[in-house]
Amino acid sequence: MRTNPLILAAALTPALSPVAANATRYVFDLTGSRTAHFALESTKPNFFSDYQTQFQNVRGNYGGAPGMASAISFGATLIINAVDVSGTSLGFTQFSANVPSLFTGPTSDPVFTVGTFALSGIISGNSFITIAVAAPVAEPGGFMLLAGAVGTTAYAVRRRARATS
């Protein structure tokens, strides 16, 4: 029994498809007394507890220069600081916000609240943080899968054309 390459390609495509990551990529802009621009994926905190979620080694722009924050933490309650940025040229950066939390959901899988929020700090001064959802970026694996499917289809059509002539 001959297997039709088109049927084979159609059957294998779902199995070979990369699993889409369900992480949402957020972009953060801190303006005011301290400035920073960085992006995070919400499902990848390095540390979390009942009261905070923390992302480590976050590349971004801090105080106008590219760099890496050793840790960025977000508090889950009014008691814990809303935002802490550690290990950058900004120095000691710690803010409180007028909202209970900048995210919802568990600290192990935070969903950040999109918008602009006023921040205040005794040492860090007053700033604003804007949280936005980043536009999705296509993964290279998806393009490779598409190229493979087009190639398999072209091969099957060419082979069928030779067989009928």
Say whether pLDDT at 4 is over 70: no
CB 105 within 8 A of CB 76: no
Report angle CA 72, 38, 27 to the nearest 5 degrees.
110
pLDDT in tens, 63-109: 999 999 999 999 877 666 789 999 888 887 889 887 778 988 888 88
pLDDT value at residue 20: 43
Task: Check residue 122 and give its pLDDT.
Answer: 82
The band of 15, judged by pLDDT with boundaries at 50, 70 and 90, is very low
Q: How far is CA 59 from CA 3, 38, 46, 64, 75, in A?
A: 50, 7, 14, 13, 20
Decide the pairing of beta strands 36-41 and 111-112: unpaired
- pLDDT, tens digit, for every residue of 132-155? 998 776 666 766 777 777 778 877
Q: Domain limits of the chain? A: 5-18+139-164, 25-133
Say yes or no to pLDDT of 12 above 80. Answer: no
Structure tokens at 115: 């918008």
Q: Is the pLDDT of residue 7 over 60?
A: no
Nearest to 107 by CA among 51, 55, 44, 58: 51
* pLDDT score for 71: 92
Q: Where are the beta strands (DSSP E) in 2-151?
A: 25-32, 36-41, 47-48, 52-62, 65-75, 83-86, 93-97, 103-104, 111-112, 115-121, 125-133
Per-residue pLDDT reduced to its tens digit, 21-71: 567 899 999 999 999 999 998 768 888 888 889 999 999 999 999 999 999
Q: Would you place residue 160 in the very low, low, confident or very high pLDDT band (cuts 50, 70, 90)? A: confident
Total residues found in the chain within this entry: 165
What's the predicted TM-score (pTM) here?
0.68
